[in-house]
Amino acid sequence: MPLATVRTRVEAAAPDLHGTGSRATRILGAACLVGMATLLMLAFWLTNPDERVDEETNIVTGQFDAVRLLYVHFPVAIVTYTAFLVTAAGCIMVLWKNSTWWDNTAAASAEVGVLFCGLTLVTGSIWGRPIWNTWWEWGDVRLMTTTILFLIFVGYLAYRRTMTDPQIRAKRSAVVGLIGAINIPIVYKSVEWWENRTLHQQSTLAELKVEDLTLFAMIFGMTVFLMIYVWLMVHRFRIGWLEHQAETAGLAVAIAERRAQAPDDIRNAVTDTRSSLPDSGVDT
Amino acid sequence: MDPIMREIWAVARKDLLIEARSKVVATQVLPFALVILILFGLALDADRSTLRSFTPGLFWVATLFAGILAIQRSVSVETSSAAFEALRLSGAPGWKLFAGKALAVALQLLAIEAVLGLGVVVLYRASFADPVLVVTAALAATVAIASAGSLYGVLAVGMGVRDTILPMLLLPVLAPVLVAATRAFDDGLGTTAVNGWSWCALLAFFAVIYGTVGALAYAVVIEDA
Amino acid sequence: MEPAVRVRDAVVLLGRFPALAGLDLTLEPGTVTLVQGPNGAGKTTLLRLLAGLAPLESGQVSVLGHDVRTETRQVRASVGLLSPATMLYEQLTIIENLSFWASLSGHNDVDLMAVLDRVSMAPFADQHVETLSTGQRRRAAIAVVAIRRPRLWLLDEPHAGLDQAGRDIVDGLIADALVAGATVVVASHELDRVRPLATHVATVAGGIVHAFEAVGNGSDHA
């Protein structure tokens, strides 16, 4: 659909709209910015590097400064799984209730989820370099699971792009998304059995020298990134919703145009008595 | 034959008959699988013992790639005759159509795997320490691949959908099957000391899951094929 | 008597294009309706809608007493659609195709050779479809539909690609269907050929029915 047509239909559907922002999102956005600034301050300045001194040998071990990246990596991973959970829920609702609202939510959440999944992989890789001495570790359960999760939902988004009919797209991508989501715990278990040991911190919080500030920073980080997720979701959802409205708003017009084709056609039909070869099936 | 199986077998038999006459899988897909084995051998430039230890992984990667082609062939048999519409009109329940198509794909895949098995013995000097485990694992993995593939194969056709999306959709989903099958073969071919039978059980689990999901979703998906 | 086909304000979308834009149509049982109209008018979509294959965006459609939305399976089981695509597997023989479709639709007791004989394709029963001409494939496709013994025949350009003998076969089948009490809908550009057989004519253009009239000649062929 040409952009000019989309614009006129969107304007017809929502005349007072000048973007997908609203008072609520502007407040939320400001809060996110403040929160991010605070988080970065916490992560890179106020908290201490992870140093643990072995009491007997006096050797200092730990993640040192690398732990600072965890204040971003861990929340980003949480948001990733949250986003894909929302997509999975949306897929179920589409198949069950045939809901456009949920289809839009599923797609929006998948996009945001893929973004955060990429961030998870990147921050995890950067964190892992000094800790594991490698950018990529094949044996690690969570790394493998997150990578396959990334591929599955990139595939989901690519698949959605191949279909233009909204009903068909909703139903079929719901099947793909749901199977993909169900597969994730399976992948997790399989890889876990595959490598009995894992380099990933089994319980990051427990092993760190947990000071009050560290714990606070972690939870604060989760909150900030969840707020960012919501902010992104609201905007992406609204864009998708407007697209949907632009598509359906045109229906009555299209029907009228279609019916108006008739008078010329009837004239032509009466004079056309020649037989025709069968079409390839495209003839409507 | 009892009525339930009759329709399933009619669909499978039809696909196998078409293959017997057109020989597409036998002359195109099977050699492709062998070529993959050979290319791996060339590219890895490894000594004999290393190649032997790679065998399970290479075998299953070759099988997966060949499987993609076999599934695309299974679907194109229907689309080239506009037959999905006729299948919907026929009134046969979706799960039976699924079972028949998946059965035909599975049988063809098993034939390919048999030849690949011969191939790895000859090319990679693999040996069968536990043939029962190898065969059982191959059966379970094949059912899983054929089931998931038959469903995704139909998802990858329709107005506007290109079948080039099939590998991207199917392979990440089959990743755990690849892991499990490789491990089971590690035990069955004697290359690594693992408990192959527990991996085999996992493969059976996948076979059941993908068989069930495919049967449930097929009717919904072919409505738009 | 309940109408064989009742369509009320049907809208069918292909993608976002309204192929049918609020179509109304009522057909009585035992009639032969010619659907005429230019290319792109919506004739094929109308037939597919009546077969239960096209998704209904809005409106009500009931075919042989079954609602197309809620009782799709029953609708499909009672109709026979002859579309431009032959729906035959190239690598199989005609008789193999027939027995496959017969067993899938549950019609295992039908005498396949008798049906083939009716379309004058009996000598070709063991020939592979890929070796047949267009006209012969069409006849084989007609046999596939005939096996189902549908109560509603939906024929999309049935005469196209057929020689004189083939066209006579189609006309004969339409007459047989009438005798058996079925209802026939024929979408065709061959007005001279089909009008004499028809009891009604519907003119479709722009996704709706513009004219519907009885022509009353079809009963002579019964």
Beta-carbon separation of B168 and A155 below 8 A: yes
What is the pLDDT at residue A143? 86
What is the pLDDT at residue C220? 45
* Whether A46 contacts chain C with CB within 8 A: no
In the block, residue with structure tokens 């005759």: B81
Q: What would the mean pLDDT of C107-115 be, rounded to a whole number? A: 87
| Pairs across A and C, CB distance < 8 A | 102
Q: Which chain C positions have a beta carbon within 8 Å of B17's beta carbon?
A: 91-92, 96
Mean of pLDDT over chain C = 90
Residue A12 C-alpha, separation from nearest chain C C-alpha, in angstroms: 18
Least confident of A41-45, B168-172, C30-34, C112-116: A41-45
What is the pLDDT at residue A245? 83
Beta-carbon separation of C21 and A280 below 8 A: no
Facing residue for C73 by CB, picked from B10, B87, B91: B91
Facing residue for C159 by CB, picked from A255, A275, A283: A275
Beta-carbon separation of B224 and A168 below 8 A: yes
- Tokens linked to C75: 């609708």
Share of chain A above pLDDT 70, in %: 76
- Rounded to an integer, what is the distance from CA B159 to the centroid of its chain? 25
What three-state secondary structure class fits C5? strand
User: What is the enclosing helix (H) or strand (E) of B98?
Assistant: helix B94-124
Which of residues A227 and A165 earns the better pLDDT score? A227
CATH for C173: 3.40.50.300
Q: Which chain C positions have a beta carbon within 8 Å of B1's beta carbon?
A: none
Q: Which chain A positions have a beta carbon within 8 Å of B224's beta carbon?
A: 168, 171-172
Per the structure, the count of domains in chain C is: 1
Beta-carbon separation of B21 and C91 below 8 A: yes
Residue C109 C-alpha, separation from nearest chain A C-alpha, in angstroms: 32
CA–CA gap between residue B24 and residue C193 (Å, rounded): 43
* Whether C138 contacts chain B with CB within 8 A: no
ipTM surpasses cut 0.85: yes
Share of chain B above pLDDT 70, in %: 99
Pick the residue from chain C with its C-alpha nearest to A266.
Answer: C205
Q: What would the mean pLDDT of C37-52 be, rounded to a whole number? A: 92
Nearest by Cα to C22 from C211, C212, C207: C207
pLDDT digits (tens, 9 = 90+) for B1-29: 677 888 999 999 999 999 999 999 999 99
Question: Could you state, in order of their start, the residue ranges of all structural domains in chain B?
Answer: 3-222
Q: What would the mean pLDDT of B97-110 be, rounded to a whole number? A: 97
Query: Interface of chain A against chain B, CB under 8 Å?
Result: 95, 148, 151-152, 154-155, 158-159, 162-165, 168, 171-172, 175-176, 179-180, 182-183, 186-187, 190-191, 193-194, 281
- Tokens linked to C184: 């026939």
- Degrees to nearest 5, angle at CA C29 with C26 and C31: 85
Q: Which chain C positions have a beta carbon within 8 Å of A283's beta carbon?
A: 39-40, 43-44, 84
Share of chain A above pLDDT 90, in %: 33
Q: Which chain A positions have a beta carbon within 8 Å of C208's beta carbon?
A: 259, 262
In sequence order, what DSSP letters do the residues of chain A get, joined into one string?
--HHHHHHHHHHH-TT-SSS--HHHHHHHHHHHHHHHHHHHIIIIISPPEEEE-TTT--EEEEETTHHHHHHHHHHHHHHHHHHHHHHHHHHHHHHH--HHHHHHHHHHHHHHHHHHHHHHHHHHHHHHHHHSSS--TT-HHHHHHHHHHHHHHHHHHHHHT---HHHHHHHHHHHHHHHHHHHHHHHHHHHHHSSS-SS-TTHHHHS---HHHHHHHHHHHHHHHHHHHHHHHHHHHHHHHHHHHHHHHHHHHHHHHHHTHHHHHHHHHH-----PPPSS---
Q: What would the mean pLDDT of B180-189 be, rounded to a whole number? A: 91
User: What is the enclosing helix (H) or strand (E) of B142?
Assistant: helix B131-155
Q: Cα-Cα-Cα-Cα dihedral of C88, C89, C95, C96, to 10°? A: -140
pLDDT digits (tens, 9 = 90+) for A185-238: 888 877 777 765 444 544 443 345 556 777 888 889 999 999 999 999 999 999
pTM of the model: 0.87
Residue A148 C-alpha, separation from nearest chain B C-alpha, in angstroms: 6
User: Is the predicted pLDDT of residue A74 greater than 80, yes or no?
Assistant: yes
User: Is the predicted pLDDT of residue B200 greater than 70, yes or no?
Assistant: yes
CA–CA gap between residue A208 and residue A204 (Å, rounded): 6
Beta-carbon separation of C55 and A255 below 8 A: no
Pick the residue from chain A with its C-alpha nearest to C39.
Answer: A283
Facing residue for B90 by CB, picked from C85, C89, C101: C101
Beta-carbon separation of C15 and A164 below 8 A: yes
Q: Which chain A positions have a beta carbon within 8 Å of B82's beta carbon?
A: 281
Beta-carbon separation of A269 and C37 below 8 A: yes
CA–CA gap between residue B106 and residue B96 (Å, rounded): 15
Query: Is residue C112 assigned to a domain?
Result: no
What is the pLDDT at residue B108? 97
- Tokens linked to C172: 């004969």
For chain C, give the longest Cα–Cα distance. Answer: 47
Beta-carbon separation of B91 and C51 below 8 A: no
Residue B221 C-alpha, separation from nearest chain A C-alpha, in angstroms: 7
Facing residue for A190 by CB, picked from B151, B176, B221: B176
Domain residues for C82?
Answer: 5-88+150-221
What's B25's DSSP letter?
I
Residue C66 C-alpha, separation from nearest chain A C-alpha, in angstroms: 23
Pick the residue from chain A with its C-alpha nearest to B161.
Answer: A162
* Whether C65 contacts chain A with CB within 8 A: no
What is the pLDDT at residue C222? 40
Question: Could you state, in order of their start, the residue ranges of all structural domains in chain A?
Answer: 22-270
Beta-carbon separation of A258 and C191 below 8 A: no
A146: amino acid identity, one letter: T
List all residues of chain B from 87 to 116 with a beta carbon under 8 Å from chain C: 87-92
Beta-carbon separation of C189 and A284 below 8 A: no
CA–CA gap between residue C187 and residue B199 (Å, rounded): 59
List all residues of chain B from 60 to 99 with a beta carbon under 8 Å from chain A: 82
List all residues of chain B from 52 to 91 with a beta carbon under 8 Å from chain C: 77, 80-83, 85-91
What is the pLDDT at residue A269? 54
CA distances from C14 to B59, C45, C54, C55 (A): 44, 9, 9, 9
Residue A17 pLDDT grade (very low, low, confident, very high; cuts 50, 70, 90): low
Q: Which chain A positions have a beta carbon within 8 Å of C45's beta carbon?
A: 284
Q: What would the mean pLDDT of A264-271 be, rounded to a whole number? A: 56
User: Is the predicted pLDDT of residue A154 greater than 90, yes or no?
Assistant: yes
Residue B91 C-alpha, separation from nearest chain C C-alpha, in angstroms: 6
Residue B160 C-alpha, separation from nearest chain A C-alpha, in angstroms: 6
* Whether B118 contacts chain A with CB within 8 A: no
Pick the residue from chain C with its C-alpha nearest to B223.
Answer: C53
C208 Cβ contact partners less than 8 Å away, ≥ 6 residues apart: A259, A262, C20, C21, C22, C23, C24, C42
